[in-house]
Amino acid sequence: MVWIFVVLALAAVAVIVLLLVNASRGRRSVEDIPPAMRPGYSDEELERKVLERYMGWGIVLVAFFAIFLPLYWMREPARLTTATNAATVQNFERGEELFVENCALCHGQTAEGGGTGSTYDPADNWPAPNLTTIEKRYEETPVAQDIRDYIVSTIQRGRPGTPMPAWGSAYGGPMTDQQIEDIADWILLNQKATIEDADAAFNMSGEELFQSNCARCHGENLEGFIGPSLEGVFERHNRQTILGILKNGIFLANGISMPPWQNGYMYDGARYKDVALNKIVRYLEQQQPDEIPDEAKQYRAPYGDGGPKGEADTEEPPAGGEDEGSA
């Protein structure tokens, strides 16, 4: 690449020198004559020598550019590739540095997963997913059509209801868009080609699966907590739809989502097969109340009477006796 600029510089110097020599040649005898009084070119000189000289220089320049420009552009793809690779290396290094400083505490130094204190009980461990398999996990799920955009959006917005905070400056976080994109690029460049097909629920019952995975958001008795109440869920959806939701999750534009438990689930060791998810569906069927509430056909917002679990325990009992709604 350097040699092209050297040739160009030498050519430019040669053209300048030749023009200066040409300008001084034949005019030395009239150097002492004021410019306005110097004789001009004769018609013969204008029509032949001067014209031919200009045409000659035009041919030289045309030939130069006809050779130089193709040679220059032949090298352009290689130059762009080199520049792109250099930028990728810089982005990778910046992304790694940012990840280690801000994300490794929960996700591990190599992004292979970890944990942190629960949002609701710091003494309880909340697992952080393995990020080196996120591309493979989401490749066949409608939850994330563009995995890079999904990663960037998740980092920007965080995951409400979990220890994952919003990092984007537009959402009150400390990072710029460029920093988040650098982290996303670093994560994608560290993806593993394959992941193990886990079956962590082989010996677990539907109740065990629900209580260990679903009760955190939907309540231990299906009453709703972060997620909606599941009492009367079969009034809203049929069995196949509920199974599909468990497989693929639900992603909302505001960043609040129900994770997929099969296609693209964030934790490698707990992606459940249809057998396990059907156990959960059967458990939901068994736990439906004898009398379905009238409003069960619609989603009931979380944080119903009494607020989040544990909040009601701290409230003062109403005057005049015990709370009539308590068990």
CATH code, domain carrying 142: 1.10.760.10
Cα 127 to Cα 116: distance, rounded to the nearest angstrom: 6
Q: Which two tokens mark 102?
A: 């801000």
Residue 176: per-residue pLDDT: 96
Among the candidates 135, 159, 188, a domain finishes at 188
The residue ranking higher by pLDDT, 169 or 139, is 169
Residue 261: alpha-carbon gap to chain centroid: 21
In a domain, 142, yes or no: yes
- Cα angle 124, 161, 249; round to 5: 105
In a domain, 72, yes or no: no
Per-residue pLDDT of 230-280, as tens digits, reads 988 888 888 888 888 888 888 766 565 788 887 765 555 557 777 788 889
Reported as a pLDDT band with limits 50, 70 and 90, residue 31 is low
Among the candidates 160, 188, 216, a domain finishes at 188
Residue 30: per-residue pLDDT: 52
Task: Judge if 166 and 106 occupy the same domain.
Answer: yes
E strands present in the chain: 114-117, 125-128, 250-251, 257-258
Write the CA distances from 255 to 85, 99, 101, 173, integer angstroms. Answer: 33, 21, 24, 14
pLDDT of residue 318 exceeding 50: no
In a domain, 244, yes or no: yes
Nearest to 267 by CA among 165, 162, 189: 162
- Residue-level length of the chain: 327
Task: Judge if 101 and 163 occupy the same domain.
Answer: yes
The residue ranking higher by pLDDT, 294 or 311, is 294
Q: Which two tokens mark 134?
A: 């996120």
Task: Judge if 180 and 212 occupy the same domain.
Answer: no
In a domain, 147, yes or no: yes
Per-residue pLDDT of 117-147, as tens digits, reads 888 888 888 888 889 988 887 777 776 788 9
Cα 136 to Cα 172: distance, rounded to the nearest angstrom: 30
Domain around 256:
206-305
Write the CA distances from 250 to 98, 125, 242, 246, integer angstroms. Answer: 29, 24, 11, 9
In the predicted model, what is the mean pLDDT of the chain? 78
**Which value, to the nearest 10 degrees, does the dihedral of the CA atoms of residues 159, 162, 164, 168 take?**
40
Task: Judge if 178 and 271 occupy the same domain.
Answer: no
Cα 23 to Cα 16: distance, rounded to the nearest angstrom: 11
The proportion of the chain whose per-residue pLDDT surpasses 70, expressed as a percent, equals 72
Cα 261 to Cα 248: distance, rounded to the nearest angstrom: 7
In a domain, 96, yes or no: yes
In a domain, 53, yes or no: no
Give the residue-averaged pLDDT of 56-78: 84
Task: Judge if 154 and 240 occupy the same domain.
Answer: no
Q: Which two tokens mark 249?
A: 């999750």
Number of domains in the chain: 2
- Cα angle 278, 279, 283; round to 5: 115
pLDDT of residue 58 exceeding 80: yes
The residue ranking higher by pLDDT, 202 or 275, is 275
Task: Judge if 210 and 183 occupy the same domain.
Answer: no
Residue 119: per-residue pLDDT: 81
The proportion of the chain whose per-residue pLDDT surpasses 90, expressed as a percent, equals 20
Cα 266 to Cα 79: distance, rounded to the nearest angstrom: 39
For β-strands 257-258 and 114-117, DSSP reports them as unpaired
Task: Judge if 91 and 183 occupy the same domain.
Answer: yes
In a domain, 49, yes or no: no
Q: What is the pTM of this model?
A: 0.47
Per-residue pLDDT of 204-240, as tens digits, reads 788 988 998 888 888 888 888 878 889 888 888 888 8
Per-residue pLDDT of 83-128, as tens digits, reads 888 888 888 899 999 999 999 999 998 898 888 888 888 888 888 8
In a domain, 27, yes or no: no
What is the identity of the amino acid at 327? A
Residue 320: per-residue pLDDT: 46
Task: Judge if 156 and 236 occupy the same domain.
Answer: no
Are 108 and 114 spatial neighbours (Cβ–Cβ below 8 Å)? yes
User: Over the range 172-210, which residues count as b (16 or more CB within 10 Å of their CB) and which as e?
Assistant: ebebeeebbbbbbbbbbebbeeebeeeebbeebebeebb
Residue 102: per-residue pLDDT: 95
Are 236 and 284 spatial neighbours (Cβ–Cβ below 8 Å)? no
Residue 104: per-residue pLDDT: 92
Residue 313: per-residue pLDDT: 44
Per-residue pLDDT of 7-22, as tens digits, reads 767 777 777 777 666 6
Task: Judge if 222 and 179 occupy the same domain.
Answer: no
Give the HSE-up count for residue 315: Cα atoms under 13 Å, Cβ half-sphere: 14
Task: Judge if 219 and 147 occupy the same domain.
Answer: no
